[in-house]
Structure 1
Amino acid sequence: MSDKPTAVRVYLARVRTALADLPASEIEEILEDVRPHLAELEAELGEGARVEALIERLGSPESYAAELRASGGYPAPGEGATQVFTTTAGPSLVKPRIALWGLLFSALALALLAFGAAVTVDPDVFAGLLLFAPVFVVSLVLLLRGGVEPVLALPEVAWLRTTMAKGREQEDAGKFLRYLGSLKPAWWVLCAVALVAFGLLLMLRHRGAVLLLPFLILAAVAALWAGPRVRTDRRLLWVAVPISAFVIGGALGGFGAAIDLFARGGSSSPPSYYTSSDSYGNDQLTYGGHDVGNIYAFDAEGKPLTEVYLYDEEGRPITVTRYGCERSSGSRQKIGEDNRFPRPKIEQGVTDDQGNYNGYNGYRGACRELAGVPFSAAIPKVTVPPTTTSPTSSSAPASPTPTK
């Protein structure tokens, strides 16, 4: 085998020289990212390809190294870390820190929401996105306006890089970190599959989750696109980190739910009633994972009962929020809470067979209360087994009177 260096080795050697002012661990990461691409290009050019052919396709190694610096947010040659910290000291560190910690906070919040949604299999948990979404938007805007370089120049980022570089120098930790690095391509595929599967699971359990599925599919596509490019464009961390946090949080939640199911013997219990809180903070009756707003009772003949009061086994009233039509606004509003059923059915405008919206009394927000039972119930007939009479309690037939 010839010891003559290949075109890729020569090209990468000049790239390494152009990046010599960076930490050795950072140089190795950069070269590991671009080496497969150069190898593919060399194979495309054919055996015996010369360095000049690579330069013609990619430009000089020095210009290629400059592009890697810019896309990765590294300082230009001659600008050391000390100079970067000096120019970004003082108040100018505020915006980069907001961009960085806004990203981390948003990722943590997203992981917690995914954990809760996986445990409860309830898409309503994602309403919490409204709480931290503004933080992420501010972080992203500051990143796009100020660039990623000030963020990468923060002291905490430099400390993290130094810590990871020291870890790579240790034999056991270095092997573990390199092993994790080798799993990165598979990780982004796993993230995409997990996001789509999670959306389908929520949609099967709750019809309203169909609105969430397109966003999860979009996140899956973003993971496949942005994940492999993070090393060369650090701005994509604002895409990759939240997606990874979501998948990890959802996986932990699903794992916890699986353990809970296994602890209960692997059998899912039948639907049961339990209370949760509604938008007013009052108890809400739930059956089989769905809110119950009304209860209808029937007698043995199938006739509906009115003025039925519900209590649990300890004599406590099952009190839930009662709604009605508020006249001034013509909308459905809370009017109290009690344990009396059934309740009037609330209608807030209707849509006819032609798809036309009709309010009541000419007002689009009109509301009306409908009494009565909207369905009929077929009460199953219960067959009572015949009562057996003991011989001792049976009355003996009267003896016939003898005739004379």
Structure 2
Amino acid sequence: MSEKPTAVRVYLARVRTALADLPASEVEEILEDVRPHLAELEAELGEGARVEALIERLGSPESYAAELRASGGYPPAAEGATQVMTKPASPGLVKPRIALWGLVVCALGLALLAFSAAVTIHADVLLGLLVFLPVFLISLALLLRGGVEPVLSLPELVWLRGALAKGREQEDTGKVLRYLGSLKPAWWILCAITLIGFGVLLMLREKDAVLLLPFLLVAGAAIVWAGPRVRGDRRLLWVAVPVSAFVIGGALGGFGAAVDLVSNRNSYQGSTSYYPTSDRYGNDQLNYGNHEIENVYAFDAEGKPLTEVYLYDEEGRPITLTRYGCERSSGTKEKIGEDNRFPRPQIQQGVTDDEGNYNGYNGYRSSCRENAGVPFSAAIPKVTAPPPSPSSSTPTPSSTPASPTPTK
């Protein structure tokens, strides 16, 4: 009585058939490479595992063979050989597509959130994870319910695998792809380190971010565990892809934040103290603290306002501001030049009624007036001279003893 073939043997037989157009020696070499992994997977599934269980984890033998071709740099199978693999299943492709594109949307969303959080160094940005969590859960539920095979059989993924296979056929592109593939083990470790470092950085900036650190620790452990197993179980892509996208987005955001910090620091060091360049119109402006100054009034010691005052800085540069005036024809405020003479007339805009009254409610013509007066009075504190100190008092001439008058 012959021994019943195991699930691995049946699966490998179909893989061998899908690779039949390749040289027999190379087919045997490919199968020898994957046989230990399949045996390990069969042991994990338990004794008596069926071929369907392997297909659930790895996809159909034909699609698995196509991936082996692509990873080994072999040309794709002939059209007749791949017809079984590329032909979509009779059930609809709506659910597999939702599973696939839900993963893509979540990955892009996580990358953008990580980028924003790294640029602003603000953990609150990551609250956007709650927006993508339902999409991810729906995608994952459809994957677990329908299996990975319908997703891998989608036309867009078949086209992508074909494009990667053609890229590997080209010498330069193939070298790049193979080199990137060899970096996968280091990439999973780098992802875990980046996630933990990102959490520590946010925690140092905001104490509340300590609540986010356990999540990042779990994600780091998950990517180290799932990453090396993706080739054997494609369902783990729903762990590896989102975490990788998050790490890439955070790395790009951190790089952008560092460049911005360096450029701003150099710009600040090279700027003067009260020349914040220009206002929203592109004209020079003067700031005092956080307030923009449009006019300057000067008074003498008696509280009398001064006119025709010219302002300069400590290096003799004129402190010029944009000067505005009234345009008579249009009745509007217009720029008429710039200088360092103060004070400037106040520009008052309004409307004029039919009788020439300013700001009339029934008016219809724009009006502009220049008020040269000072809108306030200043109480200048009197400065009293301090009493002279003993050391600074005028010295009195020292007295000399009188000489005795001689007597006769």
Q: TM-score normalised to the size of structure 1? A: 0.53
Match of 1:198 in 2: 198
Which one of the candidate residues 292, 301, 318 is aligned to 1:314? 292
User: Are the aligned partners of 1:71 and 1:234 in contact in 2 as well (CA < 8 Å)?
Assistant: yes
Equivalent-residue separation in structure 1 for 2:194 and 2:266 (angstroms) = 23
Please show how residues 102-121 of structure 1 align to structure 2 within 5 Å: 102-121=102-121
Match of 1:147 in 2: 147
Q: Which amino acid aligns with 1:87?
A: A
User: Are the aligned partners of 1:15 and 1:65 in contact in 2 as well (CA < 8 Å)?
Assistant: no
- Any idea what SS the aligned residue of 1:264 has? helix
Please show how residues 24-103 of structure 1 align to structure 2 within 5 Å: 35=33, 38=36, 69-75=55-61, 81-82=83-84, 85-88=87-90, 92-103=92-103
Match of 2:122 in 1: 122
Match of 1:19 in 2: 16
Equivalent-residue separation in structure 1 for 2:179 and 2:167 (angstroms) = 13
Q: Which amino acid aligns with 1:177?
A: L
- Alpha carbon RMSD of aligned pairs, Å? 4.6
Structure 2 CA distance for partners of 1:128 and 1:232, relative to 1, 3 Å: same
Q: Which amino acid aligns with 2:264?
A: R
Question: Which range is displaced more, 169-178 or 72-81?
Answer: 72-81
Structure 2 CA distance for partners of 1:34 and 1:233, relative to 1, 3 Å: farther
User: Are the aligned partners of 1:96 and 1:143 in contact in 2 as well (CA < 8 Å)?
Assistant: yes
Q: Which amino acid aligns with 2:58?
A: G
Q: Which amino acid aligns with 2:17?
A: A
Question: Which range is displaced more, 231-240 or 70-79?
Answer: 70-79
How much has 1:398 moved relative to structure 2?
9.4
User: Are the aligned partners of 1:191 and 1:220 in contact in 2 as well (CA < 8 Å)?
Assistant: yes
Structure 2 CA distance for partners of 1:242 and 1:162, relative to 1, 3 Å: same
- Number of equivalent positions: 257
User: Are the aligned partners of 1:112 and 1:249 in contact in 2 as well (CA < 8 Å)?
Assistant: yes
Equivalent-residue separation in structure 2 for 1:81 and 1:74 (angstroms) = 13
Equivalent-residue separation in structure 2 for 1:218 and 1:268 (angstroms) = 41
Q: Name stretches of at least 5 consecutive residues in structure 1 with no aligned partner.
A: 1-10, 42-53, 270-310, 317-385
Equivalent-residue separation in structure 1 for 2:181 and 2:19 (angstroms) = 20
User: Are the aligned partners of 2:99 and 2:138 in contact in 1 as well (CA < 8 Å)?
Assistant: yes
Q: Which amino acid aligns with 2:291?
A: E
User: Are the aligned partners of 1:19 and 1:65 in contact in 2 as well (CA < 8 Å)?
Assistant: no
How much has 1:218 moved relative to structure 2?
0.3
Larger radius of gyration, structure 1 or 2?
Answer: 2
Q: Which amino acid aligns with 2:130?
A: L
How much has 1:178 moved relative to structure 2?
0.5
Structure 2 CA distance for partners of 1:34 and 1:206, relative to 1, 3 Å: farther
Equivalent-residue separation in structure 1 for 2:254 and 2:21 (angstroms) = 40
Match of 1:333 in 2: none
User: Are the aligned partners of 1:261 and 1:268 in contact in 2 as well (CA < 8 Å)?
Assistant: no
Q: Deviations over 1:283-336 (max 9, x none)?
A: xxxxxxxxxxxxxxxxxxxxxxxxxxxx931279xxxxxxxxxxxxxxxxxxxx
Equivalent-residue separation in structure 1 for 2:251 and 2:27 (angstroms) = 28
Please show how residues 3-402 of structure 1 align to structure 2 within 5 Å: 15=12, 18-21=15-18, 35=33, 38=36, 69-75=55-61, 81-82=83-84, 85-88=87-90, 92-265=92-265, 312-314=290-292
Structure 2 CA distance for partners of 1:112 and 1:24, relative to 1, 3 Å: farther
Q: Which amino acid aligns with 1:239?
A: V
Equivalent-residue separation in structure 2 for 1:229 and 1:135 (angstroms) = 24
Equivalent-residue separation in structure 1 for 2:165 and 2:247 (angstroms) = 27
How much has 1:173 moved relative to structure 2?
0.5
How much has 1:30 moved relative to structure 2?
12
- Any idea what SS the aligned residue of 1:314 has? strand
Equivalent-residue separation in structure 1 for 2:246 and 2:167 (angstroms) = 26
- Any idea what SS the aligned residue of 2:290 has? coil
User: Are the aligned partners of 2:58 and 2:232 in contact in 1 as well (CA < 8 Å)?
Assistant: yes
Equivalent-residue separation in structure 2 for 1:30 and 1:114 (angstroms) = 45
How much has 1:85 moved relative to structure 2?
3.1
Structure 2 CA distance for partners of 1:217 and 1:162, relative to 1, 3 Å: same
Structure 2 CA distance for partners of 1:224 and 1:266, relative to 1, 3 Å: farther
- Any idea what SS the aligned residue of 2:87 has? helix
User: Are the aligned partners of 2:14 and 2:62 in contact in 1 as well (CA < 8 Å)?
Assistant: no
Q: Name stretches of at least 5 consecutive residues in structure 2 with no aligned partner.
A: 1-7, 64-79, 270-288, 295-384, 399-408
Match of 1:302 in 2: none
How much has 1:133 moved relative to structure 2?
1.6
How much has 1:264 moved relative to structure 2?
3.3
Equivalent-residue separation in structure 2 for 1:236 and 1:23 (angstroms) = 29
Equivalent-residue separation in structure 2 for 1:224 and 1:30 (angstroms) = 31
Structure 2 CA distance for partners of 1:87 and 1:57, relative to 1, 3 Å: closer
